[in-house]
Amino acid sequence: METSPLHADQWVYVRTLLPPDLEQSARAMNALVRCRNVPDAAALMRMALAYAVSDLSLKDVAAWACAMDLAEITGPGLFYRLREAEAWLAHVLGQTLTQQVRSTPVQWPLRVVDATVINGPGPVAVQWRAHVLADPASGGFRAVELTGHQGGEKLVRHPVQAGEVILGDRAYGTARGVHAVREAGGHVLVRFNPVTLRTCDSNRKRVYLKKWERKVPQVEGIEFRITIPVPPRPTKSHKTWDSAKAIAWIPARAIAGRTREGQVIWILTTVPKRELPTLCGLELYRFRWQIELLFKRLKSLLHLDTLPSRQGPTAKSWMLARLLAAALAQRLVQPSGPLSPWGYELRPQELPA
């Protein structure tokens, strides 16, 4: 009985969605130095994706590639290839995400930042973090950075375009992060802790927002004009430096509202009030939930949380290949141009005159 090859009938289609310079980039980034057992970059990419989206081991993927006449390779040989392809996979993932359209339901381009933990087998709780920049309008991700468990959540991990509004939870409510976004011409809308973030009035005198929580109404919201001092480097605690040594002062708004249970939440934004009224700021923050839904999809549909190796040399390559599969999938759902039946996107410069 003849068996159907693993996605053999769709590979030509998928190949049209990958960057056209696949071969050149693979050689430039030393992912494909010699072609003794792997004929080209497309074959290497196909094996990487097969390993990432299936439950096959490296040995099984190598056997499948041999049966398909895709490559003459063994399990250890594929292990070596994937280990050396880490930088190349990250490059292709970045190119694939860059080609996708950025859309927004409001007058500013909205972006959401957050991180999710990827665990492998073993007793250690946190192994990897995927730091993601997402588009809440489409629900897709636009950039991703993988770090070890030491990698903290920071607004500066992703490039910010002028005019963008970056949404984030309390981990991103830091003075340095807000300063970096403003320096790039963007704005922030982040939840923050009024105890850990130093806040001052327009005269640069310390104010304690926690004392004002009694003024927050049960419904609607209230805001306070504040100024945020940016600490000099290096400083790890808001209690160990003098505000007079601040390298910058950022005008901002602290918006407070209550949950249904009566808990006060604080939102920090640099968007002017004439463009974003108080209640609109609280409502706009709800778009941050879209990135939580994205993480649920990545882990429930693509099983991003089933890392086969906790600390192995191919662990990061496996995650990058699986994220690349997710990027290709969302490109099919949200094409940035006219798609032919084989997936090729017709770009403006290729249209007839």
Q: Report the C-alpha gap between 344 and 353 in whole angstroms.
A: 19
pLDDT attached to residue 88: 94
pLDDT attached to residue 303: 82
pLDDT at residue 174 tops 90 = yes
**Res. 237 pLDDT band, cuts 50 70 90:** low
pLDDT attached to residue 144: 92
pLDDT attached to residue 135: 87
Kindly state the average pLDDT of the residues 223-229. Answer: 94
Joined tokens for residue 10: 């769709």
Kindly state the average pLDDT of the residues 31-58. Answer: 88
pLDDT attached to residue 239: 59
Residues 6+ apart with CB under 8 A from 56: 50, 64
Kindly state the average pLDDT of the residues 231-250. Answer: 79
pLDDT attached to residue 125: 60
Q: Report the C-alpha gap between 85 and 80 in whole angstroms.
A: 9
